[in-house]
Amino acid sequence: MLFKLYEEGKFKPYTENELLMVLSETMPTTPRYCRLSRIIRDIPSEEIVAGNKKTNLRQIAEELIEKKGKRMNDIRSREIKNESVSWDDLVLETIRYDTSSGKEFFLSYRTKDTDKICGFLRLSIPEKKYRENNFVEELRDSSIIREVHVYGRVMSLDIDSSGESQHLGLGKRLIQEAEVITKRERIQRISVISAIGTREYYKKRGFEIGRLYMGKLL
């Protein structure tokens, strides 16, 4: 469709420089709770009729952003990867934003000094009318954990009897905070979508398997 419009002179794609300018201005404005997973698709240049042909334009844009003295704040740019950090390095950050159907909470543990994300959780609080009339019975009067993700190797400063540092359960702590928020919203149940491989993880935290979701009464 776009190719046809292009041939007819009704569509003009960004030039490489124009696109680079757009990216370098918009990428730093991406909210902290979003993740810019893909910017440019890896399409062979010989198959591109017009517009940008550089598959590493994201990298070029990020270099330009740095030259402009700006910084990226999205999740991908702040992931701690496989670095090791201690508990004392971390702080819990809570971001709330409204949607057309309720409230969203983005909970994350990040490093105090470098603002690197070590783990995050997305919690949805649907409006009362949606909770009460949800066509999925399990989600009636329930908050919903949409995603839990933990990066890297987060260690405590405590040493056990074998001399090994103890891993801290950031996922567990994030879920506990989600439960606190759910109770504060006067909701008695919290639900989560869980793959087969994560069911035992949630069972240990008091969740029970339902028909479509796992849930926990608070």
Residue 88 belongs to a domain with what CATH number? 3.40.630.30
Comparing 166 with 207, the larger pLDDT belongs to: 207
- Same domain, residue pair 179 and 85: yes
Out of 48-52, 60-64, 99-103, 183-187, least confident range? 48-52
Long-range CB contacts for residues 49-52, cutoff 8 Å, separation at least 24? 49/3, 49/6, 50/6, 50/12, 50/13, 51/13, 51/14, 51/15, 51/16, 51/19, 52/13, 52/14, 52/15, 52/16, 52/19
Q: Which residues are registered as beta bridge partners of 107?
A: 94, 121
Last residue of a domain, one of 29, 61, 76: 76
Determine the 3-state secondary structure of 137 from DSSP. Answer: helix
Provide the whole-model pTM.
0.87
Instruction: Give whole-number Cα distances, 203 to 89, 107, 216, in Å.
Output: 29, 21, 9
| Residue-level pLDDT at 215 | 96
- Mean pLDDT of all residues in 25-29: 97
- Same domain, residue pair 130 and 148: yes
- Same domain, residue pair 106 and 201: yes
Q: What is the pLDDT of residues 65-83, one digit of tens each?
A: 999 999 999 999 999 887 7
Give the total number of structural domains in the chain: 2
Which range marks the domain in which residue 39 is found? 2-76
- Same domain, residue pair 93 and 199: yes
- Same domain, residue pair 71 and 102: no
pLDDT at 156 over 70: no
- Same domain, residue pair 65 and 83: no
pLDDT at 159 over 50: no
Structure tokens at 100: 């057309």
164: pLDDT confidence band, cut at 50, 70 and 90? Answer: very low
Out of 54-63, 132-141, 154-163, 200-209, least confident range? 154-163
The pLDDT mean for the chain works out to 89
Helices (H), the chain: 2-7, 16-26, 57-67, 75-78, 128-132, 170-184, 199-203
| Residue-level pLDDT at 155 | 54
- Same domain, residue pair 193 and 117: yes
pLDDT at 152 over 90: no
Last residue of a domain, one of 57, 76, 95: 76
- Same domain, residue pair 47 and 113: no
| Residue-level pLDDT at 135 | 86
Last residue of a domain, one of 76, 108, 137: 76
Q: What is the pLDDT of residues 96-125, one digit of tens each?
A: 999 999 999 999 999 999 999 999 999 999
- Same domain, residue pair 106 and 182: yes
| Residue 72 phi, psi dihedral angles, 5° rounding | -85, 140
pLDDT at 3 over 60: yes
Q: Which residues are registered as beta bridge partners of 153?
A: 84
- Same domain, residue pair 65 and 85: no
- Same domain, residue pair 83 and 48: no
Instruction: Please name which of 161, 159, 213, 169 lies closest in space to residue 191, comparing C-alpha atoms.
Output: 213
- Same domain, residue pair 93 and 35: no
Q: What is the rounded CA–CA span in Å between residue 121 and residue 190?
A: 13
Give residue 39's identity as a one-letter amino acid code: I
**Residue 92: alpha-carbon gap to chain centroid:** 15
**Residue 164: alpha-carbon gap to chain centroid:** 31
